[in-house]
C-alpha cells in the first residue's frame, strides 16, 4: 500500500506500516501527475482527501472563493488523479452524507460531494472493467472537525448524530477484531 498526503510528520508516522508514504498535494495537478507517473500500475485507488470544512456555512455568509477552494481541494483533485492513475482494479472515492442531506450550512459540501456521487456512473461506464464507487460516510470524529472549538466539538457531533441508529459519531480507528464475510 502507498499512502500520500502533504504533512511530512504524518507521513513519517505511517511509513513503517506501508510500502511507501509520499508527499503529494492532491490539489496540485503537476504533483499528482508526477506521482502517478512514478507509481506505475495501481490495483486499487482510494481517494479520500478533502480540504476540510472549507466553504461550510449558510450560502449567504460564504465567499464564492471558498466554494471554489472546496471544489479544488476535493472534486478537481479526484478528477486529476483519476485522469492520471493507471488503475487495473477499482477506484473508490470518499464523498459524504452532505450530498443527500438537507442540512443548513452545507451547500458547498453538498455541491462537491453530490458531484462526486454523480460522476460514478459515467466514470464506471468509461473505465470498465475497472470498478468505480463512492463511499459516503456520515459524521466521523476526525480532525476534519478541528474548526469547532474543543469544548464544543462533542456537543456539536452529538447534535448531528442523535437521530441516527448508532446514536453517535463514527470513529476512524482500526477495528481490533475485523469481521470479513
Ligand X SMILES: NC(=O)c1ccc[n+]([C@@H]2O[C@H](COP(=O)([O-])OP(=O)(O)OC[C@H]3O[C@@H](n4cnc5c(N)ncnc54)[C@H](OP(=O)(O)O)[C@@H]3O)[C@@H](O)[C@H]2O)c1
Name which of 7 and 128 has its Cβ closer to ligand X: 7
- Regarding 39 and contact with ligand X (CB under 6 A), the answer is no
d(CA 95, CA 46): 11
- Regarding 48 and contact with ligand X (CB under 6 A), the answer is yes
Q: Is 87 helix (H, G, I), strand (E, B) or coil?
A: strand
d(CA 88, CA 130): 6
Task: Please choose, out of 58-66, 118-126, 139-147, 148-156, the segment that lies near ligand X by the rule CB under 6 A.
Answer: 139-147
d(CA 52, CA 46): 17
d(CA 120, CA 118): 5
Query: Which positions from 86 to 125 touch ligand X by CB under 6 A, shown as an x/- string?
Result: --------x-xx----------------------------
Of the residues 21, 49, 81, 87, which one makes contact with ligand X according to CB under 6 A? 49
Q: Is 42 helix (H, G, I), strand (E, B) or coil?
A: strand
Enumerate binding residues for ligand X (CB under 6 A): 5-7, 10, 24-27, 48-52, 73, 77, 94, 96-97, 137, 139-140, 142-144
Amino acid at each position: 500500500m502507498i499512502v500520500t498526503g502533504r504533512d511530512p510528520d504524518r507521513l513519517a508516522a505511517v511509513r513503517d506500516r506501508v510500502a511507501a508514504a509520499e508527499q503529494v498535494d492532491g490539489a496540485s495537478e503537476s504533483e499528482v501527475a508526477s506521482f502517478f507517473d512514478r507509481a506505475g500500475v495501481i490495483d486499487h485507488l482510494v481517494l479520500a482527501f478533502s480540504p476540510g470544512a472549507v466553504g461550510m456555512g449558510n450560502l449567504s455568509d460564504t465567499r464564492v472563493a471558498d466554494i471554489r477552494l472546496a471544489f479544488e481541494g476535493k472534486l478537481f483533485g479526484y478528477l486529476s488523479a483519476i485522469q492520471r492513475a493507471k488503475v487495473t482494479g477499482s477506484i473508490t472515492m470518499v464523498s459524504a452524507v452532505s450530498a443527500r442531506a438537507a442540512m443548513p450550512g452545507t451547500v458547498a459540501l453538498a455541491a462537491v460531494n453530490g458531484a462526486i456521487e454523480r460522476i460514478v456512473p459515467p466514470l464506471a461506464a468509461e473505465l470498465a472493467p475497472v470498478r468505480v464507487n463512492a463511499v459516503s460516510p456520515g459524521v466521523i470524529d476526525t480532525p476534519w472537525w478541528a474548526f469547532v472549538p474543543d469544548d464544543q466539538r462533542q456537543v456539536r457531533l452529538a447534535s448531528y448524530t442523535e437521530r441516527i441508529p448508532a446514536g453517535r459519531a463514527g470513529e476512524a480507528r482500526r477495528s481490533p477484531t475485523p469481521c470479513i464475510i
